[in-house]
A and B are shown apart, each in its own frame.
Chain A
Amino acid sequence: MSESPKFDFFKKDQEVSLREGFGRALVALGKAREDFFLFDADVAGGTGSKPFTDVFPERVIQFGIAEQNMMGAAAGFADTGLIPVVVGFGTFTIMRAHEQLRTAICYGNRNVKICCSHLGVDAGPDGATAQMIEDLATCRAIPGLKVMVPACANEIQPMFESVLNEPGPVYMRIGRSPAPVIYENPGLIKIGMADILREGEDVSIITCGSRVAAALKASKQLESDSISSRVINLRSIKPIDLDIIRSCCVKTGAIVTVEDHNIYGGLGSAVAEKIVQIEPVPVEIVGINDRFGCSGENYELFSKYHIDIEDIVTAVKKAYKRKKKQTGR
């Protein structure tokens, strides 16, 4: 029988890597329930799962540097009713073993959780090889695969519990670099639900992951230009929170999406796909403009690839201007 996990939250506004939060979530949930096993390709140190391997070595299955086999084995393992939690670097896991993820896990409807780090240019100095900027697009396109993105080291903890409780395959994106803790205690995270972090009237900023903190800063900065912006943490990319997206269209009439991901197929695409079908309003998509990343510190790369606070501010102004031109208000 499982019991309620005792999460160990970080202090608000502290800069902490989501990997650290993931490690705490694994241990807290590992103590509360015995039904999940960690699948590791010898990257426990790099993904934040090391604390779990220290406390529960008997619940770790080592696959060595062989992610395709790890992903395929996870599909089979889930057949026994236990939950495999596949942990790895995004590119080497999601990308390398994409067919196993698609056919063995998702077509097989297996209850597998895939939790990856090193996504977007947030991955930093390792460079483009390790910076997967396509995961939201490729995972979103697989039938039945749910996609979750936590924004901070506290949010990831109850999110991981919800991921474990959700039947069927779920992919969760884990940030690598230190990021401000946004939620003191996020409470229960619901798959398919977004969170309104800031109310505003003129433009909505819809974002996820490391860009949530940047969007909050941009929103505050925009006050000096007398632009009131609503900030949404779209933590559930798939299923998407249609009600919140609709309310953003109706309430603010202009949208800016922000993501540390290629502009094709990610959060911006997911939001725009819905908007054109429910309530067309001007949409500006802030993301990596279809090019590979490079080495550098995460904050340097956010600026270089134009997904930083200033880029959000510019996009909000543009969206606002388009709205005014269209509606006259």
Chain B
Amino acid sequence: MENNITILKEWAKRIRLESLNMINYCPAGHPGGSLSVADIMAVLYFSEVNVKPEEPLWPERDRVLLSKGHACVAQYAALGFKGFFDTAEFLKFRRIGGLLEGHPSVSIPGIDAPSGSLGLGLSQGLGMALGGRCAKKNFRVYVILGDGDMQEGATWEAIIAAGHHKVDNLCAILDYNKIQQGGRIEDIMNFSPVAEKISSFHWAVDEIDGHDCEQINVALKKARMQKGCPSFIIAHTIKGKGVSFMENQAKWHGTIALSDDEYKKALDEVGK
């Protein structure tokens, strides 16, 4: 287990480094939320989900939907490292002729749903989970939500429906970094407390440190065993995690060009 966690931490580090590379080279993207979701991505792709990079549309695969699609570089990094596509695509992120769209597209191998407009992910994941049930398939569906998703009404429609339909092959993970584009969520649109709300809609709720690979791993395994209701993992995270000058800073939500010094410092800190 310890060895496995060490490997997962290493993958999380590589996801962070590659996310910074993609954003810096472009230069555009969303560093804050990509760094906050990196550990979740690492554990999902390198420990939890059952996928076949050589057959991206394998019908039995587990599905991973990044509803907070603006953080897609973290998912692209994981998919590239898994072998879904050539890692040479990393530096063509957001560029014409490149594979990696500015927000997730199903044209990219390994991307299971389009996103980038907040609030679209959980419904699609719910539909996949219901479809899996109707088609008598055993795959699981993982939907990664951001704080912005929790302010979209459609997400709450999906929360009600998933609880009602007892969709236990569905697991939502909230990358709860508590900062959105314009500032802290408690100042812009406070949706806390989360756990009480979600559990009242008949979900099993777990609350973890979203940067602790072991805790993420354990929570995902627990969710896999959950029967009779969907699982919701509240992963407390830090926006910009791993880069001191980005941590907890709303200004690093969206694109800000990094100076050469900032870029070097960011890579040094993440690579430590």
Instruction: List residues of A whose CB falls within 8 A of some B CB.
Output: 37, 61, 63-64, 66, 68-82, 84, 99-100, 103-104, 107-109
Which residue of chain B lies nearest to A75 when distances are taken between CB atoms in the complex? B124
Interface pair B127/A74, CB less than 8 Å apart:
yes
In the complex, whether B125 has a CB less than 8 A from a CB of chain A is yes
Structural contact, B63 and A72, CB atoms closer than 8 A? no
Of the listed stretches B132-140, B217-225, B257-265, name the one at the interface; the rest are far from the partner chain: B132-140
Which secondary structure characterizes the binding site on chain A? helix
Which of B117, B131, B137, B154 is the one whose CB lies under 8 Å from A77?
B131
> Are A103 and B120 in contact (CB-based, < 8 A)?
yes
Give, as a whole number of angstroms, the nearest-CB distance from B267 to chain A. Answer: 34
Chain B window 165-180, contacts with chain A (Cβ cutoff 8 Å), 1 for yes, 0 for no: 1000000000000000
Which residue of chain A has its CB nearest to the CB of B128? A76
Contacts of B129 in A (CB 8 A): 76
A23 to B132, CA, bound (A): 26
Looking at A37, A69, A71, the one whose CB has the most chain B CB atoms below 10 A away is: A69
Given contacts A80-B59, A81-B135, 19 further A-B pairs with CB under 8 A are A37-B134, A63-B161, A68-B119, A69-B126, A69-B161, A71-B123, A72-B120, A72-B122, A72-B123, A74-B127, A76-B113, A76-B126, A76-B131, A79-B63, A81-B59, A82-B134, A84-B131, A99-B117, A109-B106
Contact B59 A73 (CB under 8 A): no
- Select which of A72, A82, A84 is within 8 A of B158 by beta carbon: A72
Is B157 touching A76 in the complex (CB atoms < 8 A)? no
Contact B126 A68 (CB under 8 A): no
B271 within 8 A of A: no
Main secondary structure of the interface of B (DSSP, over half): helix
26 contacts between A and B (CB under 8 A): A61-B165, A63-B161, A64-B161, A66-B160, A69-B160, A69-B161, A70-B123, A71-B123, A72-B122, A72-B123, A73-B127, A76-B131, A77-B127, A77-B130, A77-B131, A77-B134, A79-B112, A79-B131, A80-B59, A99-B117, A99-B120, A104-B123, A107-B114, A108-B114, A108-B124, A109-B106
Q: Which residues from chain B sit less than 8 Å from chain A, CB to CB? A: 59, 63, 105-106, 112-114, 116-117, 119-120, 122-132, 134-135, 137, 141, 153-154, 157-158, 160-161, 164-165
CA distance A74 to B161 in the complex (A): 13
**Contact A80-B128, Cβ < 8 Å, known A69-B157, A73-B158, A103-B114:** yes
For the complex formed, measure the closest distance between the CB of A144 and the CB atoms of chain B, giving whole angstroms. 12
Q: In the assembly, what is the distance between CA of A79 and CA of B131, in Å?
A: 8
Nearest neighbor of A66 in chain B, beta-carbon distance: B157
Closest 6 pairs (CB-CB, A-B)? A72-B123, A76-B127, A73-B127, A80-B131, A69-B157, A76-B124
Give complex CA distance A69, B160 in Å: 10
